Amino acid sequence: MTAQETMPPFSQLDIAPTAALILGLQLPEQDGRPIDFAVAWGCKNVALIIIDSLGYDLLMWLLPTLENMRALSIAGQLLSITAVSNHTTPAIASILCGLLPEHHGIFDKAGAKESRIKSLPEIAAASGQKCAVIMEQNGADVYQGLIEIVHGIPDSIPSRDFDREACRMTCQALLERPRLLVSYFIGIDKSIHLGLGWEGIREAALLIDRCIGETVGTANDETLFIICGDHPIHAGPLKRTREPYHVAMILARGNAQK
Ligand SMILES: [Zn+2]
């Protein structure tokens, strides 16, 4: 029996409550609950890596070729978790605040700018914790002036360049030892939407996997990595046309030599 079968089903809504508990923060409201076994690992910092379109079925198909994510799944835990939305913006908002889309009300980029709902990076920064956010420009703009390290990357550049830049910025930010880091990779999703086929998806995933390896190797074992998808893929044979939507989540610790 796998660990997954013995555990209650988890959701994207559990990510913010888990990170909050590790960081010693209180979320004003939450629809999820902390993932106890991950909290029990005793980490002090959290690195949340969101991979656009990393559905669970897709990761299972890719995993034999993804050296780093496979190793992390074995050293840590790979879970299939419920996705709260089939769209990027509301899903990422739920990941970052622990509320259902109908409770946070953020459905597009404009909504994210106007929202008064506090997300985890803002709550952590307000209580004096060093935070880093690396994501596409519009998403990053929301955090300008609110948290210490903000890097926006234009999503108009080729996705390969975007992910390389995200990787470089993430490793650089981790060297500053933030309590909370949020980073975002787009290559898999872009390959799907550009119709690049399975080879294109695999190539994008291999680049992200190398980035994950570098990133995890930059942080020590006091950092809990939460690597997750925002929604299942939107096209191709692995596309899900109805609920429940599931995405992959890998929980693992950093492995840098202290
Ligand atoms: Zn997405």
Going from the Cα of 189 to the center of ligand 1, the distance in angstroms, rounded, reads 6
Task: Tell me how far the alpha carbon of residue 1 lies from the centroid of ligand 1, in angstroms.
Answer: 32
pLDDT at 2: 53
- Cα of 231 vs centre of ligand 1, distance in Å, is 6
**Which helix (DSSP H) or strand (DSSP E) does residue 252 occupy?**
strand 246-253
Residue type, 88: T
- CA of 53 from ligand 1 middle (Å) equals 5
Beta strands in 36-176 (DSSP E): 45-51, 77-82, 131-136, 149-153
Q: In one letter, which amino acid is 9? A: P
Neighbours of ion ligand 1 (CB under 5 A): 52, 88, 230
Average pLDDT, integer, range 110-137 = 93
pLDDT in tens, 167-197: 999 999 999 999 999 999 999 999 998 988 8
CATH topology (fold) of 8-253: Alkaline Phosphatase, subunit A (3.40.720)
Coil, strand or helix at 229: strand
How far does the centroid of ligand 1 lie from the alpha carbon of residue 40, in Å? 30
CA 253 to centroid of ligand 1, rounded, Å? 25
CA of 183 to the centre of ligand 1 (A): 13
Secondary structure of residue 200 in the 3-state scheme = helix
Place of tokens 């980490």: 43
Domain ranges of the chain: 8-253
- Find the 213 Cα to ligand 1 centroid distance in Å: 22
| Distance (Å, whole) CA 81 – CA 73 | 14
**214 CA distance to ligand 1 middle (Å):** 23
pLDDT for residue 5 is more than 60: no
CA 186 to ligand 1 center in whole angstroms: 8
Nearest to 119 by CA among 140, 110, 51, 137: 140
pTM: 0.95
How far does residue 88's CA lie from ligand 1's centre (Å)?
A: 4
87 CA to centre of ligand 1 in angstroms: 6
pLDDT surpasses 90 at 21: yes
How many angstroms is it from 91 CA to the middle of ligand 1? 8
Model confidence pLDDT, tens digit, residues 220-241: 999 999 999 999 988 877 777 7
Ligand 1 geometric centre to CA of 65 (Å): 22
Q: How far apart are CA 160 and CA 137, in angstroms?
A: 16
Q: Which tokens belong to 69? A: 């994510």
